[in-house]
Structure 1
Amino acid sequence: MTTLFETLSPLSGGINALLIIISALTSAFTAAVGVGGGLLMIMAMAQVMPATVIIPIHGVVQLGSNAGRAALTWQHIDRRTIAAFLPGVVLGALAAIWLLIRLPAGMLEFFIAAFVLYSCWGPPLPKHALGATGTVVAGAITTLLSSFVGASGPMVSAFIKQGQTNRLNKVATFSACMSLQHLTKVFVFGFAGFVFHDWLGLLSAMIAFGFIGTWIGVRLLHYLSEYRFDALFKWVLTLLSLRLLWMGIQRLGS
């Protein structure tokens, strides 16, 4: 007898159920810590899903997760950053639609990890890099990379971290930026011919449970001190960067 979970996507019922649980857990993690859930999710998805569907499915689920988190923290969003980030997102998405040649496998991981590690442990970015022009450039580059590597969250969060001082501002502004970025994937992969219809059941369930996880994570966010949040935020970014470096080494050597 066909179970409800088996009707959600072409995958098995057990895998669909596992992905729904992962969506809730990673959304709670991102809301509470500030970053990392998207990368954790795409790593889990890569273990059980066909390579051709990972990035578009991940993008739509993360759109739901980030939009929910942005809605719950909307009063803390830095609107000036969003206004400057949006044009870059559009430019990056247009480039992704037409770009057919990719960098050698493994190089993108190195670039992202190097930027994040510099942001965490290097000197502060020059002030002009945090202005409108720098934000447009960051939006364009991270959106372009996101269309090819899926999880650009660590890179976006490293940039947001430099311009925000309050933990709620960091999470809210990051969520709004990522919502815009993931929204472009619907258009990018739609132009590329990806059929989202076959995955709507799984997408809906993962987004719904992701919102529940987000609500729990936002509640936890209020109990973290500024110092504890900043330290945890930095170490999560560092560990994810080291993971990316290792993945890049493996891909270059294969």
Structure 2
Amino acid sequence: MDFLASLAPDDVSPLAAVLVVAASFFTAALTAAFGLGGGLALLAVMGALFPPAAVVPVHGAAQLGANLSRFGLQRRDVVWPIVLWFALGGVLGAALGGRIYVALPEEALRAAVGLFILIAVWGPKPKAFEPGPRTFFLTGAVGSFLTMFFGATGPIAATMLSATRLDRLKTVATHAACMVAQHGLKTLAFGVIGFAFAEWALLIAAILTAGFLGSWAGVRFLRAMPEARFRTGFRLMLTFFGFYLLAAAGLSVLRTG
């Protein structure tokens, strides 16, 4: 118990630290298998167990490590031109988001992302949403801007990638590389803002170790998965998170209203 207590900052209990580390393994496996889902699930666990001001910065550092694990395991399948344009847009989005951090209502942002995902997955595809440098750049900018406020915006990049019709390995690998860029920029921005990452370093290291093991397990599952099953699961996962974000926004309004 003393060892567990030494991992966590003073305002986090040893039990909370253990639960988040365990959640890191399972959520990383989920993301490695389907390309998304784990980040939002881990954010929910952290939101319930960590101090509110620490949730988004620590989640960003944890997701940076988890996606680095996925990227390292799947780097041969990355489509680099997509990642380049996404990262360039991400620089703009993170810079703007850092300047107005928590100045916008979180409920409106959640609802907007949820609607975007559902329309992009199930609605008609306008010409402006066709895959290309402009689309990749704008997706990186919007995702990096929004991730400064509520953390898990992986479904935005996943929605973009669903329009490219890449195979399952390229989809998940490219998503991992895009998320490395996004969470790396976010972690850098929070460091500039002044978040005390040093106090959380040991716990973040434990979360990252568990996330690597989860990513390894998830990648093995992905390589054995039939392509048609992946596409169905990927689409259903996007739909679930679209409705989840809308519901979360509505519940938050009801609680505060």
Q: Percent identity?
A: 33
Aligned position for 1:9: 8
Aligned position for 2:178: 177
Q: CA RMSD in A?
A: 1.4
- Aligned pair in 2 of structure 1 residues 13, 233: CA closer, same or farther (>3 Å)? same
1:186 aligns with 2:170: no
Contact 2:101 2:149 in 1 (8 A): no
- Aligned pair in 2 of structure 1 residues 52, 100: CA closer, same or farther (>3 Å)? closer
Which stretches in structure 2 are left out of the alignment for 5+ residues? none
Aligned position for 1:239: 240
Residue deviations 1:178-234 (CA, integer Å, cap 9, x gap): 000000122211122110011111100110110000000000001211111111111
Superposition deviation, residue 127 in structure 1? 6.1
> What is the CA–CA distance in structure 2 between the aligned matches of 1:163 and 1:3, rounded to whole Å?
50
> What is the CA–CA distance in structure 2 between the aligned matches of 1:104 and 1:8, rounded to whole Å?
33
Aligned position for 1:148: 149
- Aligned pair in 2 of structure 1 residues 194, 39: CA closer, same or farther (>3 Å)? same
> What is the CA–CA distance in structure 1 between the aligned matches of 2:191 and 2:207, rounded to whole Å?
20
1:206 aligns with 2:204: no
Structure 2-normalised TM-score? Answer: 0.94
> What is the CA–CA distance in structure 2 between the aligned matches of 1:37 and 1:81, rounded to whole Å?
22
Aligned length: 253
Superposition deviation, residue 102 in structure 1? 3.3
Structure 1 counterpart SS, 2:105: coil
Superposition deviation, residue 59 in structure 1? 0.3
1:37 aligns with 2:57: no
Which stretches in structure 1 are left out of the alignment for 5+ residues? none
Aligned position for 2:25: 24
Superposition deviation, residue 100 in structure 1? 4.8
Contact 2:70 2:176 in 1 (8 A): yes
Superposition deviation, residue 166 in structure 1? 0.1
1:109 aligns with 2:114: no
Residue deviations 1:41-96 (CA, integer Å, cap 9, x gap): 00111111110000000000000000110111111100110121121011111112
Structure 1 counterpart SS, 2:163: helix
| Mapping 1:127-142, distance limit 5 Å | 129-142=130-143
